[in-house]
Amino acid sequence: MQPLRIALAQLAPRLGVLSDNLAAHHRTLAEARSGGADLVVFPELGLTGYQLQDLAAEVAMSADDPRLLGLAAECGGMSAVVSFVEEAADHRLFISAALLEDGEVRFVHRKLFLPTYGLFDERRFFAAGDRLRATDSRLGLRIGLAVCEDFWHLAVPETLALDGAQILINVSSSPGRDLAAIHEVGLGTAASWRNLMRTYAQLTTSFVVFCNRVGMDETISFWGGSEVIAPSGEALFTAPLFDEGLHFVDVELGDVRRERIGLPLLRDERPELHLRELRRILAERTGVAADADGDASGADGAARDATHEAPAGHEAPAGHEAPAGHEAPAGHEAPAGREQP
């Protein structure tokens, strides 16, 4: 099998200067293409910079913005993941990552978990995404997209892998902090991330691709250290801390099969068990008692209210997944594809 060549674009975006960042993306795509890349991954908010605050609304664009389509047009026979501030039709702002392929915006993932604690204030400026699913790609495999903090929640890699993803891609703007010398790489943030990613790769028996930006926004330094992890949990490549660069990594897609045959963790997952217990937990949280099974219709109904009213999907314009209503106002779509009581 031909190896898949991944290009990690560990860039330093300029805060709020969309035109410069767009030009850097075009240059990088061209460089990645001449380097033979199949998949190019850019960092979270690579088109806008991270610490935007009230600038967010000024750099926002819709998922069918010509500037985004212009980048997609450079992705003939190539896949790219880019990230930007997405403005929905109802003017909610999302931190989004888009999969661009063959001139189209194939899929958009909206950041699900917005850290609003410590040095983070994302929930003040952005809306949280409502949907988590893997997507097919021209690469002949399914991809699971996640943005930074999404990976600090166990359900995200698990759900994406159960949905068929073989490559989990996390795009990040992770601020470096905690320089205590006890850490393996002198940076607490980097040590934590590395633990997470190796663990996820191993437990989901999937490739994990991590692209983290570098450079500074205001007082924050982003640490880079982008990585590709094999389904065995072994790091295949680690980019330098803090340096800008485009890094090529070849991976053997056959490793996914080999790992999953030898270590069939994904086969042995128990999503129905998980779902049943989650329903019970939700029922208890909402004050509706579950019966001994945790499966009573009353509890189930309550749980369904809590879990199924996800606001509508936000399929990208050229989306090829469910024909769900594009940009429907929140909460009106039928709960698609869940088991009925």
Partner 1 sequence: MTAESGIEPRGGGEPAEPLFELPPELAIDTAVARRVMVGFIRNQLAQAGFGRTLLGLSGGIDSALVAYLAAEAVGPENLLCVLMPYRTSSSESVADARTVVDRLGCASDLIDISPIVDGYFGSDGRSGAGGPGALEASQLRRGNFMARARMCSLYDRSVTWGGLVVGTGNKTESLIGYSTLFGDSACAFNPIGDLYKSQVRQVAAAVGVPEAIIRKAPSADLWPGQTDEAEAGFTYPELDRLLFWMIDKRRTDEELAAMGFRASAIERVKRLVAVSEFKRQVPPVAKLGPRTTGVDYLYPRRRPGSAR
Residues in contact with partner 1 by the rule CB under 8 A: 15-17, 51-55, 176, 179-183, 185-187, 215-219, 221, 241-242
Cα→Cα distances 159→37, 206, 223, 275, Å: 28, 12, 28, 11
In the complex, least distance from residue 317 CB atom to partner 1, rounded to whole angstroms: 28
In the complex, least distance from residue 85 CB atom to partner 1, rounded to whole angstroms: 14
Query: For 322, how many CA atoms within 13 A lie in the half-sphere containing its CB?
Result: 14
Looking at the DSSP assignment, which residues form a beta bridge with residue 81?
41, 99
The whole-angstrom separation of Cα 286 and Cα 283 is: 5
With vertex at residue 27, the alpha carbon angle to CA 23 and CA 33, rounded to the nearest 5 degrees, is: 145
The smaller minimum CB distance to partner 1, of residues 121 and 321, is found at 121
Looking at the DSSP assignment, which residues form a beta bridge with residue 135?
143
In the complex, least distance from residue 22 CB atom to partner 1, rounded to whole angstroms: 13
In the complex, least distance from residue 218 CB atom to partner 1, rounded to whole angstroms: 5
The smaller minimum CB distance to partner 1, of residues 93 and 165, is found at 93
The H-or-E segment that residue 106 falls in is strand 104-110
Residues in CB range of 31: below 8 A, 6 or more apart = 246
Residues in CB range of 289: below 8 A, 6 or more apart = 283, 298, 299
The smaller minimum CB distance to partner 1, of residues 180 and 292, is found at 180
In the complex, least distance from residue 61 CB atom to partner 1, rounded to whole angstroms: 16
The smaller minimum CB distance to partner 1, of residues 241 and 312, is found at 241
The smaller minimum CB distance to partner 1, of residues 125 and 248, is found at 125
